[in-house]
C-alpha cells in the first residue's frame, strides 16, 4: 500500500504522532507487531477474555480511552501483526518491509513519503546463577501476562532489580492475588532524594504505588540484590543480600526467600535496530533527533523511548511534536513552534538542556557480569539539541512496548550484551549497519530478490523518453 506517513509502533508515541498527522490531512498507516494498538504501556486483554474492569491494571486510563476513541473515528490505517524487519530508502519512497501474522512468513510492504520510528524500548537483565530456570521472567513479561492475558505467573513472587517498572509490577501482581514476598531494589533511598527535582512529576504515581505496597504488606528491600536463583526443574527460591555504598555485597547479609516466580528487570534500553539499518546517527544508545524529532536521515523521524527512555507522558508529547512536524514538512510549511503539549514543570529556558536521568543501579556484586551503570541512565542522555519535551521531563517512567519474551532466554542474553555495550563510548564502539532488524525467512528474501529482478527486467524493456519503443 501507499501512504504519506508510515508510523512504526502503536505505543503512546506512535498513537500521538499518527493522530496529529492525520488531523492535519495526511494519509497515515500505523504499523505494529501486536494484535492490538497501545504498546506495552496500554496493553489490553484479548476481547475474548471479556475483562470486566481492564482499567484496574492500567495507569492513565482516561488518556488511553481518548486515544482509542480518536483512532477508531480517524482515517488512520491500522496494520496490526506486522513485524517490521527493514525500512528501505529508494529515490521514490521509503519502503517498510514487514512479516505478517504470528508465523511471520508472508511479506508485506508499505510505501510512504515519511517514516516515524516509535519502536519503544526493551528490558535489560544482569545475569546471575539460575536466571534461566522456569519461573524466572522479566518484569515486563510478568506485566504483559497480567495485562494481556489476565494470568499470573505464579503464586509467590519476588520482584527484583532496579528502576521504576518494579513498583507497578509488584503492586499489579499483589492486586491480582499473588503473594509478593519482597520488592528487591538495588538502589538506595539516598539516590532517589538526590534526584528529587526530575522525579517531582512522578511523586503522585510513586506515592500511590507505595500505598498499595503497604496495603498488601509487601516488604521493600532497598539496596539489595538477587545473588542466585534456586531450583532443579522449577524455581523454588532466591538468595538476596544487602549492598554497601559501592554496590558490593555485605558479608553475612545473605538470606533465602521462597518463591515460584522471580520478576527481574535492570532497566530499559531504546530499540534502535531499524534506525541503525537506515543509517540514522545515534547519540550514545539513543536515536539522535532535533527539536522536531527529525533524524539526520531525510524523511525519517523518531519519537518515544527510541530517543531516550522517559515514560509514557514524554512519549505522547514527542509523538505529537513529530506528527505536527511531519505534516508541515510534507506540505512544505513551517512547523508552528511553541504550540505543542505542555506539562507542569515545563521551563522554556531549559528547552535545549541535556536531559538527565536517575542513576539508580549500583555496581553488581563481585563475580557478577554486567555494568554498574543503570541502562536507562546511559540511554536517556541527550544532546544539547534535545526537544523541549525531553528537557522538561527527564526522569525515567513506565516504559513503552517491551519486546522481550517473558523469560530471559535469548532476549535476556541480548539485553546483557546491550547492557555491556552501554559501557563503551560511542567513538570506541560505533553502531553497526545491520541489514535486518529481526530474523527473516530465506523464502521471503528469495521472493524479494526475484521480484527485484523482474522489476529491473521490466524497466530495461520499457520505452524511454525520446526513444521509440
Q: 462 or 340: whose pLDDT is higher?
A: 462
Whether residue 461 is predicted with pLDDT greater than 80 in this model: the reply is no
Q: 288 or 338: whose pLDDT is higher?
A: 288
Specify the pTM.
0.76
pLDDT tens column, 18-68: 999 999 999 999 999 998 898 888 887 777 777 777 766 677 778 888 999
3-state secondary structure the chain: CEEEEEEECCCHHHHHHHHHHHHCCCCEEEECCCCCCCCCCCCCCCHHHCCCCHHHHCCCHHHHHHHHHHHHHCCCEEECCEEEEEEEECCCCEEEEEEECCCCCEEEEEEEEEEEECCCEEECCCCCCCCCCCCEEEHHHHHHHHHHHCCCCCCEEEEEECCCCHHHHHHHHHHCCCEEEEEEECCCHHHHHHCCCCCHHHHHHHHHHHHHHHHCCCCEEECEEEEEEECCCCCCEEEEEEECCCCCECCCCCEEEECCEEEEECCEEECCHHHHHHCCCEECCEECCCCCCECCCCCEEECHHHHCCCCHHHHHHHHHHHHHHHHHHHCCCCCCCCCCCCCCCCCHHHCCCCCCCCCCCCCCCCCCCCCCCCHHHHHCCCCCCCCHHHHHCCCCCCCCCECCCCCCHHHHHHHHHHHHHCCCCCCCCCCCCCCCCCCCCHHHHHHHHHHHHHHHHHHHHCCCCCCCC
Q: What is the pLDDT of residue 446?
A: 75
Q: What is the pLDDT of residue 398?
A: 32
Span 435-460, mean pLDDT? 72
Residue showing cell 529482478:
453
Best mean pLDDT range from 38-52, 200-214, 311-325: 311-325
Q: How confident is the model at residue 366 (pLDDT cuts 50, 70, 90)?
A: very low
pLDDT tens column, 84-105: 999 999 989 999 999 998 888 8
**Burial (CB count <10 Å: 0-12, 13-18, 19+), residue 75:** exposed
Q: How confident is the model at residue 452 (pLDDT cuts 50, 70, 90)?
A: low
pLDDT tens column, 111-124: 999 999 999 999 88
Best mean pLDDT range from 28-37, 189-198, 338-347: 28-37
pLDDT tens column, 379-426: 333 333 334 444 434 333 333 333 333 555 434 444 444 444 444 444
Q: What is the pLDDT of residue 275?
A: 94
Amino acid at each position: 500500500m501507499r501512504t504519506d506517513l508510515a508510523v512504526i509502533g502503536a505505543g503512546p508515541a506512535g498513537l500521538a504522532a499518527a493522530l496529529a498527522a492525520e488531523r492535519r490531512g495526511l494519509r497515515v498507516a500505523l504499523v505494529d507487531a501486536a494484535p492490538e494498538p497501545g504498546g506495552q504501556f496500554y496493553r489490553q486483554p484479548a476481547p475474548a477474555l471479556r475483562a470486566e474492569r481492564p482499567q484496574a491494571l492500567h495507569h492513565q486510563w482516561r488518556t488511553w480511552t481518548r486515544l482509542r476513541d480518536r483512532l477508531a473515528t480517524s482515517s488512520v490505517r491500522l496494520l496490526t501483526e506486522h513485524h517490521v524487519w527493514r525500512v528501505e530508502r529508494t529515490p521514490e519512497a521509503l519502503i517498510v518491509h514487514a512479516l505478517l501474522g504470528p508465523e511471520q512468513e508472508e511479506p508485506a510492504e508499505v510505501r510512504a513519503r515519511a517514516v516515524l520510528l516509535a519502536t519503544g524500548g526493551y528490558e535489560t537483565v544482569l545475569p546471575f546463577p539460575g536466571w534461566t530456570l522456569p519461573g524466572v521472567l522479566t518484569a515486563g513479561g510478568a506485566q504483559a501476562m497480567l495485562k494481556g492475558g489476565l494470568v499470573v505467573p505464579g503464586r509467590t513472587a519476588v520482584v527484583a532489580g532496579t528502576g521504576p517498572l518494579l513498583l507497578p509490577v509488584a503492586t499489579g501482581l499483589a492486586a491480582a492475588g499473588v503473594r509478593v514476598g519482597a520488592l528487591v531494589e538495588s538502589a538506595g533511598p539516598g539516590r532517589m532524594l538526590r534526584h528529587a527535582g526530575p522525579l517531582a512529576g512522578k511523586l503522585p504515581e510513586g506515592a500511590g504505588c507505595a500505598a498499595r505496597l503497604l496495603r498488601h504488606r509487601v516488604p521493600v528491600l532497598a539496596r539489595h540484590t538477587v545473588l542466585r536463583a534456586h531450583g532443579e526443574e522449577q524455581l523454588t527460591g532466591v538468595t538476596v543480600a544487602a549492598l554497601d555504598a559501592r554496590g558490593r555485597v555485605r558479608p553475612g547479609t545473605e538470606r533465602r526467600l521462597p518463591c515460584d516466580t522471580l520478576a527481574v528487570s535492570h532497566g530499559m534500553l531504546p530499540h534502535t535496530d531499524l534506525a541503525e539499518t537506515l543509517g540514522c546517527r545515534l547519540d550514545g544508545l539513543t536515536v539522535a533527533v532535533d527539536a522536531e524529532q527529525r533524524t539526520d536521515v531525510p524523511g525519517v523521524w523518531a519519537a518515544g523511548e527510541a530517543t531516550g527512555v522517559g515514560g509514557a507522558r514524554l512519549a505522547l508529547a514527542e509523538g505529537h511534536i513529530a506528527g505536527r512536524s511531519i505534516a508541515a514538512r510534507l506540505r512544505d510549511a513551517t512547523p508552528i513552534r511553541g504550540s505543542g503539549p505542555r506539562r507542569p514543570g515545563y521551563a522554556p529556558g531549559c528547552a535545549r538542556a541535556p536531559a538527565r536521568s536517575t542513576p539508580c543501579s549500583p555496581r553488581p556484586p563481585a563475580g557478577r557480569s554486567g555494568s554498574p551503570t543503570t541502562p536507562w541512565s546511559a540511554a536517556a542522555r541527550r544532546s544539547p539539541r534535545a526537544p523541549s519535551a525531553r528537557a522538561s521531563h527527564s526522569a525515567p517512567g513506565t516504559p513503552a512496548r517491551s519486546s522481550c519474551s517473558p523469560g530471559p532466554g535469548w532476549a535476556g542474553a541480548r539485553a546483557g550484551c546491550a547492557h555491556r555495550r552501554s559501557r563503551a563510548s560511542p567513538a570506541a564502539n560505533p553502531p553497526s549497519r545491520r541489514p535486518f532488524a529481526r530474523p527473516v525467512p530465506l523464502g521471503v528474501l528469495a521472493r524479494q530478490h526475484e521480484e527485484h529482478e523482474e522489476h529491473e527486467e521490466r524497466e530495461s524493456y520499457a520505452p524511454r523518453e525520446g526513444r521509440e519503443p
